[in-house]
Amino acid sequence: VKIAVDAMGGDHAPCEILKGAVDYARKAAACQNGAAAMGPVEVLLVGDPARIEAELDEAIAHSFSLSPASADGALPRDALNLRIVPAADVIAMDEHPTQAVQEKPDSSLVVSTRLVKEGEAHAAFSAGNTGAVMFAALRLLERVPGIKRPAIATPFPTEVGGRAFVIDAGANVDCRASHLVQFALLGAVYAERVGGVERPRVGLLSNGEEASKGNELTREAHALLARSPLNFVGNVEGNHVFEGSVDVVVCDGFVGNVLLKASEGAVRLTLGLLAAEARREPDEATREVLLRSLLRIRQRVDYSEFGGAPLLGVNGVQFIAHGRSDAKTIATGIGLAVAAARTGYVEAVRDALRDHANSAAAAGAAGA
Amino acid sequence: VKIAVDAMGGDHAPCEILKGAVDYARKAAACQNGAAAMGPVEVLLVGDPARIEAELDEAIAHSFSLSPASADGALPRDALNLRIVPAADVIAMDEHPTQAVQEKPDSSLVVSTRLVKEGEAHAAFSAGNTGAVMFAALRLLERVPGIKRPAIATPFPTEVGGRAFVIDAGANVDCRASHLVQFALLGAVYAERVGGVERPRVGLLSNGEEASKGNELTREAHALLARSPLNFVGNVEGNHVFEGSVDVVVCDGFVGNVLLKASEGAVRLTLGLLAAEARREPDEATREVLLRSLLRIRQRVDYSEFGGAPLLGVNGVQFIAHGRSDAKTIATGIGLAVAAARTGYVEAVRDALRDHANSAAAAGAAGA
């Protein structure tokens, strides 16, 4: 498997991106020698070769300083299966997405995605300008035939320890009910293939659990989902997302963005108060306990730790990470993108679309 | 000031409602003798007299056991300014709202609101069936002339310690842009009168800060708000609600409900993890510190502690509290309802509507 990593995209690029890529590459190289070997992974670092060269050795040194040669042995750079793919241009975080993609075909962001289109990579990963990544993926990879609107599936933490995938988390603001049904399908196939969940439970985000609750859009989507072959469990409310009672939460991208940002804000507020409690604690040993608790909780609930989210519904694996991702997040995200490529997610979506079409045709015939 | 409290509404009614009402009445009675005296408050306990009588003495005893005669002196029941108003019926939490209100005109919920309509009370407060409270208020108090859709203004905690009022938090699922503009007006007048904020900053909830971001509804509302005399600061995202950068956050009731429930869920998840950290802590003294921190944080961020939210835009003060509210929440909520009645909120809305109409007319004349 080959993964194209946009080395120049993100608030802390290329430094944190390279560190994350190196960390991932080390783990991948170590696994190859282990029992869980799944074939080699080559990480393509896409960007300005001079800048990447200048920072790569430091990233490798950093990685080894954190966890020195241990189980994986002291791997030299050559064994890490990294390759630099030159890209002359960079798209900034605040550039206009469509314009930037059109005007900078040689940017690291666009080249990463083009590598997937041309079969040179099996997945692309970028922490750069989110709108530009989406537009590049839509334009270069194109939609899976039959899919109207590709959507972003963002993992949310749950009380029981798993993840709920919220789709769409921000790609499409104005949606029709048929779009929501496709989001449900895309999310369910993803939760099954990549999340390893059997017959994922799909919930429709609404303002009440009863089928009669919701706005015009969700009431119509509810009726369509109830007739679909998906494992639809009905309406869910914002708090249910965190309870572990559903695997996929469907909503339009406007509402999904509000859900994501509100949750981030509420978590940040709560953890900020815990940090203040720690600062006020006079006893040093107790303060240490508070700070360690804070760190462990943050790892469970901080969205930026989750590694990124896939854009589902395009012909290829495209991951989008938060601009402020650090090395650890990048390493996690690259791993998720590789997993999505390995499990044949895109082919599974095509199969599921065919099944749905057949079942709709059968339902139509039965109704006639 | 007289406040009608639905003694039979809520998951823990009448017990917690009476305890909360007694706590509030004690504070109010104590204040009357103090420097901050603002005139007496009479609390009308609406419900089944036999059940209220049976539990009221216990509620008073409970209140005094928590904070025995101290600054306020040991007030006998007569000095508490409580009065029982009989209501023969009760609307259950899960009854169909409109049907229940129509079929049970003598329920504690409906009678509480009717007392406001008939001038027998200055505010009504209920922790009962939310839909029924809204319907009763709409039907009995009616809308302020010119207001199309009354809306719920829910206070959210912020990092800087104040509150942001989110309006609409759930009353209207499908809205037009002109409705959102009215929500902004209702929320701004409330934040000014009851929240004590001068020229409240109004933000429009969207999926990005730029004016071009949003769905069809919010983009249209953005243009209208930008032309209004309100202190409109532009689009805000879900996380900004908690940052203290705006006083009023405007959205439709569907999105507002998602925002509220998602925040509740994220806070619950985070505090649950902190509780688990405390349980795992072997040292007893350290565990106590963790638990005390948890308690203090919860008081800052738990929505059920905020006392309830007003239904704005009707001809009278109507507060709605969460069904699971405990005595402390009820006491806080009654205080908020009294404050809203005292500050002449409803009259201020009428004035603001006239100002807006004038400024719109002036803008129209200038444009012509």
Q: What is the average pLDDT across A346-355? A: 89
B250 in contact with chain A, both atoms CB, cutoff 8 A: no
Residue B74 is predicted with a pLDDT of 53
CA angle, A304 then A153 then A181, to 5°: 160
The model's confidence at residue B368, banded by pLDDT at 50, 70 and 90, is very low
Of the residues A241, A269, A277, A304, the best mutation for testing chain B's interface (the one with the most B CB atoms within 10 Å of its CB) is: A269
| Residue B148, C-beta contacts closer than 8 angstroms, at least 6 positions apart | B178, B179, B182
Q: Using the beta-carbon criterion (under 8 Å), do A286 and B285 form an inter-chain contact?
A: yes
B274 in contact with chain A, both atoms CB, cutoff 8 A: yes
Q: For residues A146 and A355, is the Cβ–Cβ distance under 8 A?
A: no
Q: For residues B205 and B255, is the Cβ–Cβ distance under 8 A?
A: yes
Strands A42-47 and A2-6, how do they pair?
parallel
Closest CA–CA distance from residue B143 to any residue of chain A (Å): 22
The model's confidence at residue A38, banded by pLDDT at 50, 70 and 90, is low
Give yes or no for residue B187 having a pLDDT over 80: yes
Candidates B105, B103, B125, B107; CA nearest to B116 is B125
A61 in contact with chain B, both atoms CB, cutoff 8 A: no
Residue B39 is predicted with a pLDDT of 75
Q: What is the average pLDDT across B289-293? A: 95
Cα–Cα distances in Å, from B362 out to B49, B222, B357, B358?
55, 20, 9, 6
Q: Using the beta-carbon criterion (under 8 Å), do A265 and B277 form an inter-chain contact?
A: no
Contacts of B261 in chain A (CB under 8 A): 207, 237-240
Contacts of B218 in chain A (CB under 8 A): 254
Contacts of B97 in chain A (CB under 8 A): none
Q: What is the average pLDDT across A341-368? A: 78
Query: A228 or A71, which is more confident?
Result: A228
Q: For residues A298 and A90, is the Cβ–Cβ distance under 8 A?
A: no
**pLDDT tens digits, A216-238:** 999 999 999 999 999 999 999 99
Identify the weakest region by mean pLDDT among A85-99, A298-312, B15-29: A298-312
**pLDDT tens digits, B105-139:** 999 999 999 999 999 999 999 999 999 999 999 99
Q: What is the dihedral of CA A26, A30, A32, A37, to 10 degrees?
A: -110
A211 in contact with chain B, both atoms CB, cutoff 8 A: no
Closest CA–CA distance from residue A54 to any residue of chain B (Å): 35
Residue A57 is predicted with a pLDDT of 87
Of the residues B152, B204, B235, B258, the best mutation for testing chain A's interface (the one with the most A CB atoms within 10 Å of its CB) is: B258
B254 in contact with chain A, both atoms CB, cutoff 8 A: yes
- ipTM score: 0.90
Q: Which of B237, B269, B271 sits opposite A157 (nearest CB)?
A: B269
Q: Which of B259, B277, B301 sits opposite A262 (nearest CB)?
A: B259
B89 in contact with chain A, both atoms CB, cutoff 8 A: no
Q: What is the distance between the alpha carbons of residues B49 and A127, in angstroms, rounded to a whole number?
A: 64
Q: Using the beta-carbon criterion (under 8 Å), do A254 and B215 form an inter-chain contact?
A: yes
Q: Which of B207, B242, B261 sits opposite A173 (nearest CB)?
A: B207
Q: What DSSP letter does each residue of A47-107 carry, written as one string?
A: E-HHHHHHHHHHHHHHHHHHS-SSTT----GGGG-EEEEE--B---TTS-HHHHHHH-TTB
Candidates B106, B101, B105, B81; CA nearest to B21 is B81
The model's confidence at residue B366, banded by pLDDT at 50, 70 and 90, is low
Q: Using the beta-carbon criterion (under 8 Å), do A263 and B262 form an inter-chain contact?
A: yes
Residue A73 is predicted with a pLDDT of 52
Contacts of A241 in chain B (CB under 8 A): 262, 265
Give yes or no for residue A27 having a pLDDT over 70: yes
B289 in contact with chain A, both atoms CB, cutoff 8 A: yes
Q: What is the average pLDDT across B256-268? A: 95
Residue B184 is predicted with a pLDDT of 97
A295 in contact with chain B, both atoms CB, cutoff 8 A: no
Q: Using the beta-carbon criterion (under 8 Å), do A301 and B267 form an inter-chain contact?
A: no
Q: What is the average pLDDT across B1-11? A: 96
Q: Using the beta-carbon criterion (under 8 Å), do A174 and B216 form an inter-chain contact?
A: yes
Q: What is the DSSP letter of B48?
A: -
pTM comes to: 0.91
Q: Which of A159, A261, A296 sits opposite B269 (nearest CB)?
A: A159
Residue ranges of E strands in A80-221? 82-86, 123-126, 151-157, 163-167, 202-205
Q: What is the average pLDDT across A264-291? A: 95
Burial letters A58-81, b for 16+ CB under 10 A, else e: ebbebbeeeeeeeebeebeeeebb
B262 in contact with chain A, both atoms CB, cutoff 8 A: yes
Candidates A191, A174, A180, A192; CA nearest to A147 is A180
Q: Which of B238, B264, B301 sits opposite A261 (nearest CB)?
A: B238
B221 in contact with chain A, both atoms CB, cutoff 8 A: no
Q: What is the average pLDDT across A51-71? A: 78
- Count CB neighbours of A313 within 10 A: 29
Identify the weakest region by mean pLDDT among A348-352, A364-368, B23-27, B324-328: A364-368
Identify the weakest region by mean pLDDT among A324-328, B295-299, B357-361: B357-361
The model's confidence at residue A185, banded by pLDDT at 50, 70 and 90, is very high
Give yes or no for residue A74 having a pLDDT over 60: no
Contacts of B251 in chain A (CB under 8 A): 258
Q: Which of B214, B241, B264 sits opposite A265 (nearest CB)?
A: B241
Q: What is the average pLDDT across A98-120? A: 97
**Phi, psi at B236, each rounded to 5°:** -130, 155
| Residue A118, C-beta contacts closer than 8 angstroms, at least 6 positions apart | none
Strands B163-167 and B151-157, how do they pair?
antiparallel
**pLDDT tens digits, B340-362:** 999 888 999 999 888 877 776 66
**pLDDT tens digits, B16-55:** 999 999 999 988 877 765 545 567 899 999 999 999 999 9
Looking at chain A, the whole-number percentage of residues with pLDDT higher than 70 is: 92
Q: Using the beta-carbon criterion (under 8 Å), do B239 and A261 form an inter-chain contact?
A: yes
Candidates B58, B1, B19, A243; CA nearest to B10 is B19
Give yes or no for residue A203 having a pLDDT over 80: yes
Q: Using the beta-carbon criterion (under 8 Å), do A215 and B262 form an inter-chain contact?
A: no
Which residues in chain A (320-349) have CB-CB distances under 8 A to chain B? none
Residue A35 is predicted with a pLDDT of 47
Residue A368 is predicted with a pLDDT of 44
Looking at chain B, the whole-number percentage of residues with pLDDT higher than 70 is: 92
* Average pLDDT of the residues of chain A: 90
Contacts of B205 in chain A (CB under 8 A): 258
Residue A366 is predicted with a pLDDT of 58
